[in-house]
Structure 1
């Protein structure tokens, strides 16, 4: 039996309890089998997970210096939503839970996205893309629009 490919994104936190509350407010579940005093497994879907790790614990996995996500971008994590409204609703939940929207929404017609920084400064981008553009590129969306 083949195991589906899964994605685990590791991000740092200064306050694990606060991070758990933030991601639960976005609608994520926490997998207790992979959560302890050092880390929490945030479930986005059956195949996408965040491992939110205390900074000192995260540091045990690398010999490189850790970037401070409040002052340095170390990654931009993009997650799709079902609609523009779903993007907006996700941002509202995140802002209500202590997140920050660092820049205005981007509306390219075929794609709509909004960025959200979690309380530690990790950047999440939530986006909706027109199915024609997703399948065939932005030009397909433009041609479909006339």
Structure 2
């Protein structure tokens, strides 16, 4: 069986979050979606489960933080620099916050960071295929 990765995120408004992730290019999997949760698919192996706060509470007693702190950033690879720019712009135009941190650009790799409507941080990134295969160029390594 192919290994799969599921990210579970608590969301305040399930419909709003589904619309946000759809605008970024995720697709909904209705087999795993109901009024308390939605499965949003990025690839054959990567799924984001959007869970209402009540649904989230069935998995843990730990509180959902909303203080703007940062303890997790989900990095997602894209095919081009333009795709990174497009995703970041789409996040800002669809209820998220674009550029929650400064953009990075090392020439062989670049990224932007945005937050979804609930403050979950994402980092779309692009890396040159040669760098992905061989590692970072010597002039960047320290």
Which of 56, 77, 80 is 2:77 aligned to?
80
Determine helix, strand or coil for the equivalent of 1:139.
Answer: coil
1:66 aligns with 2:64: yes
Write 1 or 2 for the structure with the bigger share of helix: 1
- Are the aligned partners of 1:100 and 1:116 in contact in 2 as well (CA < 8 Å)? yes
Determine helix, strand or coil for the equivalent of 2:97.
Answer: coil
CA RMSD of aligned residues (A): 1.6
- Are the aligned partners of 1:67 and 1:74 in contact in 2 as well (CA < 8 Å)? no
Which of 97, 107, 110 is 2:108 aligned to?
110
Once the two structures are superposed, residues 30-63 of structure 1 have per-residue CA deviations (whole angstroms, 9 ceiling, x without a partner) of 1010011111101001110000111221122123
Determine helix, strand or coil for the equivalent of 1:12.
Answer: strand
List structure 1 runs of 4+ shifted beyond 6 angstroms: none
Determine helix, strand or coil for the equivalent of 2:137.
Answer: helix
Cα offset, 1:139, TM superposition:
2.8
After TM superposition, list the pairs within 5 Å mapping 1:1-146 onto structure 2.
Answer: 3-68=1-66, 71-101=68-98, 102-139=100-137, 142=139
Number of aligned residues? 139
Please report the TM-score for the alignment, with normalisation by the length of structure 2. Answer: 0.90
Give unmatched runs, 5+ long, in structure 2: none
Write 1 or 2 for the structure with the bigger share of strand: 2
Cα offset, 1:65, TM superposition:
2.7
